[in-house]
Chain A
Amino acid sequence: MTINVTFSEIELAGDLKSFVSFNSNSCENEELKKIILSYTDDDELLKVTKTIASPIKIIHVEKVTEELLSKAL
């Protein structure tokens, strides 16, 4: 049976960078990994989309902006 679940959650950039550093295959591609590791403010809030198909894989990251929040509620 195939398992493939996609979910999003809010994370701190610093936590995400640590996660990516410790899990070499955690990003869908190298470019995404570079983007994540390039965040300079560890306290930046990010909306991170991940899949669990086997290990957790990050497929999308975006900054939490006022525009994102104004559409959320």
Chain B
Amino acid sequence: MVYISYSHRIITDCDFIKWVSQSQQKSIIISKMLRINVNSKEHRKQNILILEQDFDELCKDGIIKDKDTIRGGVSPFDINEEMGDLADKKLPLEALRLITGVVLTRQKPFQVVLLTTKEGKKNYLSKYSDFLEKIRNFDIKCEDEALVIINDLYRSYCSERENSR
């Protein structure tokens, strides 16, 4: 078995998971996300995260049908546990995702990407431009560019596995 120090940690939002669920490639995308998570050296089963609230909403809406399997590819993350209770601040979910992304930049590999849709990215960039402008190790990628990141991390697993044989 090989364990990989991936170049990025990933957080996904609801819209991205909905977008994946409509893709003809969804099985391949999920299998790559599972692989990235399970073989992560520093963050076993938690290299790709989703806010717990987003995960619950996707289950409630029937987008996630098998939560045990999907949890392997996107691990629900409780930002309140990490940061103390942010619930009193009544922040919108999109702000909580950005805060989570920045919080994760404190840990290896110190590079975090939020995966979303084209519309989602536009929304984050227009509403939170001041917040995002100064952060160098946190990025937002949408749809096909998000898949590039997933493919890159998956390729690092494949190449490490080849080298270990």
Contact = CB atoms under 8 A, between A and B. Distances in A.
Interface range for A? 20 to 34
Contact of B38 (A7, A45, A66): A45
Interface residues of B, number: 26
B38 A69 contact: no
Say whether chain A's binding surface is mostly helix, strand, loop, or mixed. Answer: mixed
B69 A47 contact: yes
Given A12-B1, A12-B38, A73-B20, A66 B72 contact: no
A8 B72 CA distance: 10
A4 to B, nearest CB: 17
Interface in B30-78: 30-31, 34-35, 37-39, 45, 63-66, 68-73
Interface of B: 1-2, 17, 20-21, 26-27, 30-31, 34-35, 37-39, 45, 63-66, 68-73, 161
